[in-house]
Amino acid sequence: AQKVTQAQTEISVVEKEDVTLDCVYETRDTTYYLFWYKQPPSGELVFLIRRNSFDEQNEISGRYSWNFQKSTSSFNFTITASQVVDSAVYFCALNSGGGADGLTFGKGTHLIIQP
């Protein structure tokens, strides 16, 4: 069975602080994909990143960075110099069906950036 755990239900930081959102996953498959989605207050789900299980290189995109560690089954997400517009619910998700089946989502982390 697959499982994604986001232990942080809610995080509140002051603007310009760095913040890391944790994600731990469980799967028996050797090939899988990990994702992060953002859900702003407007409600849509916005794709942020996909990482496959064979690529453990960390990735940076502007103020966003992701740390994938297979040894600890973690795929953490860091926002550097946070901004109020980063306030949203962030979901980590797992797919291990080669893309033909659906995503298993974590419960999400509600990130609040205070001005």
Partner 1 sequence: DAGVIQSPRHEVTEMGQEVTLRCKPISGHNSLFWYRQTMMRGLELLIYFNNNVPIDDSGMPEDRFSAKMPNASFSTLKIQPSEPRDSAVYFCASSHPESYAEAFFGQGTRLTVV
Closer residue to partner 1, CB minimum distance, 82 or 104: 104
Provide, for the chain, the percentages of residues in helix, strand and coil under a 3-state DSSP scheme, each rounded to the nearest 5.
5, 50, 45
Site membership for partner 1, residue 91 (CB under 8 A): yes
**Which residues inside 28-47 make contact with partner 1, applying CB under 8 A?**
33, 35, 37, 43-45, 47
Q: Which two tokens stand for residue 63?
A: 């103020």
The C-alpha R_g of the chain, in whole angstroms, comes to 14
Residue 111's nearest CA partner among 73, 63, 62, 77 is 77
Q: Rounded distance, CA 20 to CA 11, Å?
A: 9
Is the separation of the CB atoms in 36 and 99 below 8 Å?
no
Site membership for partner 1, residue 50 (CB under 8 A): yes
Q: How far is the CB of 3 from partner 1 (least distance, A)?
A: 12
Q: How far is the CB of 17 from partner 1 (least distance, A)?
A: 26
**Which residues inside 94-113 make contact with partner 1, applying CB under 8 A?**
95, 97-108
Which residues are at the interface with partner 1 (CB under 8 A)? 33, 35, 37, 43-45, 47, 50, 52, 91, 95, 97-108
